[in-house]
Structure 1
Amino acid sequence: MRRFQPGHADHDHEHGYEHDDERGRHDQPRYEPRRGRRRPAALVGAALVALALLPVAVDRAVAARIESRTAKAFQEGMDTPLPPEVQVRGFPVVTQAASGTLRHVDITAHDIPARGADRPLPVSELSLRLDGLTKADDDSEARARSAEATAFLSYEDVSNALGLEIAQGGRPGQVRAAVPMPFGEEAGVTTTVSAVSGNRIAFRDFTVDGGALPAAGGAILDKVFERPIQLRNIPDGLRLRSVTTTADGLDAHFSGRSVTFRPENAATDDARES
């Protein structure tokens, strides 16, 4: 019979004995994560992502090239100082280009001149939304199946065209003109703006604020307002539908079908007007 002796456990430890549970823990092999196996998986994932993004990058490159060429052609045709902003919408663009028709194109141009007119009225900004845009094989023209556009005409340019200082009127669709009078005085005149055929803006039904004009003043206004202002350098096929007044100028709204862009737009307008 074995008697319990104090320090027996310590004695066993000194002689190299351990309990079974402790020995088992030390005898169990240690498993380290194999990090080397994760790297191929990460590389494959990165490759798949790159392959997925490649068509997008190619499509964006094709779109950028089309946008640049369209901007250059529009600048040459409209004679703007800077290329317009062009955005080809819809994905993929590659298939649109291959078919020869771009579904939707947005163009925003600035400072379109109006040359060759006795009362030139430049277009400060022209915003176009084109649907079904195609181009000729020789790049001589581009044609949109349909289009909508808004041309902004500043009051400063309208004033220069009319020879009177023009500002926004008190009611929608009205503008106010300051008419110089003898002895340095001015008379205020309110007139209504409207769209008429031939892409022209008419000024009608003017009234004098606070009294009547002298006969000479009335004759001047009749001469100024009797003939509508022709909007020039507008792409063929766009028709002026309405004109609205804003705090800074006039918004002329256009729409049309089979809208054509070509370098001789300005010359065509001048010849038609003459």
Structure 2
Amino acid sequence: TPRTPKEARPRRSQRTYRWNWPGWLPGLLMLALGSVALWQAANSYLNPPEYVLPDLVGKTPRQALEAVRTYGLKVEFTEGSDVSLPKDQILEQTPDPGTRVKPGRRLELVINKPRFGNVPTVSGRSLEDARQALEASGYRVAGITRIASGDTADTVLSSIPREGQPLRPGEGVRLLVSTGTRPPVRETLLPDLSGLTEEEARYILTVAELQAQVVRVASGAPEGLVIGQEPGPGVVLPRETVVRVLVAAQPVASLPRASPFAPPRLEPPPP
């Protein structure tokens, strides 16, 4: 087929393109904002901020977490025991207060979980053996109450608190010790109850085979503390005798129902 000369071919139309600036502005703005955010993220990752650790000792776990909530730290809790401090209180912290830390560092907090021991068995032992057993268990002898009994002198009959009860280390244990003299038949020696609590006084009278009659007396002494007894200590009484135990109670003031003052007169308001 014959070819068409170049002059006879139709010429393509040439299009002209113009820059549409209003359409490009949102894209350029988004690109700029993304670049700034990317730069800030890279700078924060390569140069993380530093924080100064506050003193968290003595605070609760919730207070400690609230204090370092924005630091980005890995907080770990371990248990410790200190019976002289309240439960769930922070005892130690690692790193120490004032240390400069960066996000991601581990913060170890020791929480107080007091561990209580049990009162050892002291009944049937001599007074010296019972004292050594209490000291070996971390306790001390708070007082000795001697009761007439047919057991050998200085033999421990019982203890307050009783054997096996949980007790904080360092607390005192009161011992009931035999005097070694057997009282006459159906008679017992009244021990000294002053300074004991109502529960302790009832327990000692039960051991001595006596009955307690508690009388509450208004006094400035602590609530429930024995401030007197009738008869007094050292008296030989028949068994099952009633002993009056005077226990301190807080005074209560009673107010009269009716007021001694005349009620105020209500007058109509002025026009």
Task: Give the TM-score normalised by structure 2.
Answer: 0.25
Greater C-alpha Rg? 2
Question: Which structure has more RCO (C-alpha within 8 Å, separation ≥ 6)?
Answer: 1
The structure where strand makes up a greater share of residues is: 1
The structure where helix makes up a greater share of residues is: 1
